[in-house]
Structure 1
């Protein structure tokens, strides 16, 4: 990846528009950083209206979308409804339309500066042929945002939803709340400040279904980001909402008070990002903690993360599957007897498989410290079935 000050690498073949955009894609982190610098230096949004992470995530998704359109490619996965959701969110956040569109138009200047540097003198003719295409693509995006913003603004003007949305935005702004402010927000939401809450988070295509089901429910609060939606309500029974919702995503229950909901939402979003694939059920911390730990373990203690799967990969597939099944069942139950009953085999068979696992990997599942390493090393990758063995790359 090139920094903003490095010259672009000259290709062997003649410079093309597609090559320039390919280089631009590789520099996406720099492009986003440049946008953020210019945005903050001009007319930034108030921090109590728009979270900084929202701005960062939106900038990245916007540039990804624009670059794909400039290349004549289809929009990125999960981009359906992105323009409408972004415009609606800014309207709900109270960002003036003119301020919003000025921020979006920074995209053109940032892209233009980067493609000029990438192309250099050799590609100046290519840029000249495509500058109108670039300008039209950005303006088409601006026009679509303007139309969607005005539609959402009109909808908010016709309802009392504006106050509710702004109340939730204040709750999720990241700014500390006093007891009095929490009581005020709870009153506006018609909720209790000291109640116990439950929170769910979904991403991707499931967002539309959640909005359709709960968007107008007065007992449910919702907070939408670029690629996820968080819903919260007062909890009336343990994990009740989890049982009601048939969707991939995340669930956090027993949240102590309205003021604790934003932190629970952060946890729910982490769970959703690491949730296993498979049945449409909301995941909890219990399902994903090992996967989250594995992501960190790879960085700080890579040997432990790779030794178990590497050793198992050397075994025949059938033998590997039997050992992993026995070990996982034993680690869930903590009992040789219970493991044998679940696997419909003799207890000696379980003991032999646990011993074979220890011999093959050097990690004994009957030793608590070593068992902890095994649980993490065999954790599934985010978005994969929970029971499948993952051969993690070293």
Structure 2
């Protein structure tokens, strides 16, 4: 504590203070705090014409208030708060002035303090005075982290705008039959990666782009270089490949797989980048509202195959659907559940365990499905139709 820090309450010496403070915090509703904030922030210059959708402001508001309430409970925020980094990056990308961002964060304090005073009784007046410092400190710590992330992202944006390298990167995505080896060597040298080093190629669209931008910012903070380019409406990012899952997976890999993005590996590095980026773009466009994690090639190849078949107007499963329509609803549901499980596990025993039934029941249902539809799920060449059609 320096000479300018206000006196702080000693909750350990005064457990009654601590209990009552926690009770007041328990009475605060994150949804109500967020609604008040969203209503008021719209009047701040920079937010009144911001490209940020209201849903994004609501999402980040909920996470910010949740983080700050946790800080109020524990005496302060940790050194790195993900939502502070998220807000700093996304507001910089949205073109919101730093002064407007700081005004919005000061609004967080007003909303919190009003909620605390509303939840308190007259006998809590001295308690609130004794805890004023923690509210100020928590909001100030959140503001400082957000500001640092904002300024770092602004610097990155300036580098992107001014760097001639972006033009060379764009050249990699153009429709050339091949890029001269010496040109690839020059670009690889500027990127500081081996020309033939495998690359992870990641794509995001629409409302999923801000989350990928935040991931890129966090990844670069760890010292890993990430490069970006737009293919139409899809943001493509690429970097040197690393394990996403398995025994050697890192937190960076697990975090990436948790995003709603498409992911493909360019096995031969920059030579394969354009083809991999096109595949990533197509995978990204198959993401639906039901998806909440990344679509890798292993997860998404069937979707692309299905899309190609639909575009060629081939009725991939029309005969199967017609055959199953002749079943009762209960039988149809059980048959499809059983076949989907078997296609996923490849094992009668595992499917039996998954469905809580006997192995013979699974075998009988697979046989019944094959007899009804003419498609045997146990024969790979025939089951491929089901895998693609149900993807």
TM-score class normalised by the smaller sequence: 0.5 to 0.7
Alpha-carbon deviations, 1:241-291, whole Å to 9, x = none? 552223212111362222212211111111111235434211112222222
User: Do residues 232 (structure 1) and 234 (structure 2) align?
Assistant: no
Distance 1:296 1:357 in 2: 26
Contact 1:198 1:232 in 2 (8 A): yes
Classify the secondary structure of the residue corresponding to 2:317. Answer: helix
How many pairs are equivalent?
236
Classify the secondary structure of the residue corresponding to 2:272. Answer: helix
The structure with more radius of gyration? 2
Classify the secondary structure of the residue corresponding to 2:282. Answer: helix
Distance 2:292 2:315 in 1: 34
Contact 1:306 1:377 in 2 (8 A): no
Contact 2:198 2:266 in 1 (8 A): yes
Point out where structure 2 has 5 or more consecutive residues left out of the alignment: 1-50, 57-91, 94-154
Distance 1:338 1:357 in 2: 18
State how 1:132-171 maps to structure 2 within 5 Å.
161-171=162-172
Classify the secondary structure of the residue corresponding to 1:202. Answer: strand
Equivalent position to 1:243, from 229, 254, 260 = 254
Alpha-carbon deviations, 1:126-157, whole Å to 9, x = none? xxxxxxxxxxxxxxxxxxxxxxxxxxxx9977
Contact 1:276 1:288 in 2 (8 A): no
Equivalent position to 2:275, from 237, 240, 263 = 263
User: 1:313 Cα shift?
Assistant: 3.5
Q: Structure 2 length normalisation: TM-score?
A: 0.52
User: 1:161 Cα shift?
Assistant: 4.2
User: 1:230 Cα shift?
Assistant: 0.6
State how 1:65-76 maps to structure 2 within 5 Å.
none
Contact 1:156 1:162 in 2 (8 A): no
After superposition, the Cα gap between the structure-2 partners of 1:345 and 1:298, relative to the gap in structure 1 and judged at 3 Å, is: same
Point out where structure 1 has 5 or more consecutive residues left out of the alignment: 1-74, 86-153, 380-394
Equivalent position to 2:349, from 337, 356, 363 = 337
User: 1:219 Cα shift?
Assistant: 0.1
Equivalent position to 1:200, from 198, 202, 223 = 202
Contact 1:275 1:287 in 2 (8 A): no
- TM-align CA RMSD: 3.5
Distance 1:236 1:337 in 2: 34
After superposition, the Cα gap between the structure-2 partners of 1:264 and 1:360, relative to the gap in structure 1 and judged at 3 Å, is: same
